[in-house]
Amino acid sequence: MESLSKFDGIVIDGKSIEFVRMVMRKIRGNNNPDLYLKPIFSMNGNAHADPLIAQLIDGKLSSFDQIPLVHDTTESINKLKNELKFINSISFEAQVISKLMGYMYTRSLKELEPIPYANSNTHYSFPFLAYNYEEQDEYQIFDLLQIAVDEGLMTAKYFDRVYLCTSCKSSHLSYREACNKCNSTNTNSFDIIHHFPCAYVGPITDFTNDLDDKLNCPKCSKALKHIGIDYDKPSVLHVCKNCNHRFQDFVVLAKCMSCRLDNPVEQLVSREVYSYTLTKKGEDIALRGYSSTPKDIEEIIGTVKFDTYRTVVKYEIERIRQTEGSSNIVAIHIVNAGQFYAKVGSNGQQAFLRDIVGEIRASIRSSDMITFHSSEMILITMNDIPNKIANRIVIDILNLLRKLIDTNFKDLSLEITGTAYQLNLESSSELQINDLINSFK
């Protein structure tokens, strides 16, 4: 997939909608801007009939002979892409917001509207964002866009409302009337008849017979001829075939087709759906990148900003040049961080990062510094110790973090690695930090 980044654009065979969806997810969901911002065109077939695909392609071709016709579109997108500055985002949310801003900027989009989509887990889809989340986690897009609104990157306008399962947050719900005693949907319903002359009230079955289809009152034996004159039907009686309970008011349940939970409708999760407009601040963010949401760093005690970390490493190199000491920079790499953060959500991510920083801080000296380079990379300084000892400490930290993950996130798979890099006097601090980070790619 990375090899596609060297091309100006991509043409996808559109005969198979499933194939195009798979390729689009891999490209638009990639974290490399040379891929997720790549101009994409479909050729042949009717894949563009899918609403998500139609939103995420940059044009349709009927043959390779038409490629020159999309040259201007391709050149325009790539030119706008070259205006953007790409920085590493601290959190998954900041990373996806940054990607969205960049995508909208390169396509000259000002509006972001939800589209009705049966395959979406929330029945409304924001196409570019949808391919950055697993299907079952799409409901988190609502929270992501609220962050963008709170930050002034977008304005919101009410569009619609959806109701989600209380367990898995899916909107694939089947609404059914059920017995208010045992919740069974296996019921019969009968009209209630009120006979005016004798005031008898009972189910219609009391007025029927096996000989004909006429209605006769079981109390006075008179025939019921004219509704509204002889009788009326004031209500309906329901009979449960499961527990034989008789009742007049159903309970309405919403059965989740994703997790099979029967939800009382009054307990469903209500979410407002909005359309969004990019602000000037949002355009500026697209140009200079979005590193973190306000709470990404502020709530994690024990860390410093990345710029501070770079300055400290720069001066540490100058210090060991005078003292001939031995100092190290360390990287802890969370390999599949994006998928993990998407599953645990914003609050789970914050709790996880706080726990990680706490474990690391307990394993190093108070003078050593911790920073986040990205949502998947944590950097540490370990000064005045040999590299061999620094790597032993790293191994101990990794073991502690893996134990922490196994204890608190048993059902989620997370791979974590790390190493210590001894600072040298020949290369700049920037180059050495970049070499350490790139060693995990």
**How high is the pLDDT of residue 349?**
76
**How high is the pLDDT of residue 296?**
62
Rg (Cα) of the chain, in Å, rounded?
31
Domain formed by 299-438, architecture: 2-Layer Sandwich (3.30)
pLDDT in tens, 51-66: 889 999 999 988 888 8
pLDDT in tens, 146-163: 999 988 899 999 999 999
Amino acid symbol at 406: D
pTM of the entire structure?
A: 0.66
C-alpha distance from residue 18 to each of 13, 14, 48, 108, 185 (Å): 11, 9, 12, 28, 36
- pLDDT less than 50: residues of the chain: none
CATH 3.30.70.270 positions along the chain are: 299-438
∠ CA 330-333-334 to the nearest 5 degrees?
Answer: 150
Amino acid symbol at 361: R
What pairs with residue 164 in β-bridges? Answer: 269
**Residue 60 near residue 48 (C-beta atoms within 8 A):** yes
**How high is the pLDDT of residue 41?**
93
Name every residue whose Cβ is closer than 8 Å to that of residue 162 and which is 6 or more positions away in sequence.
122, 123, 124, 171, 270, 271, 273
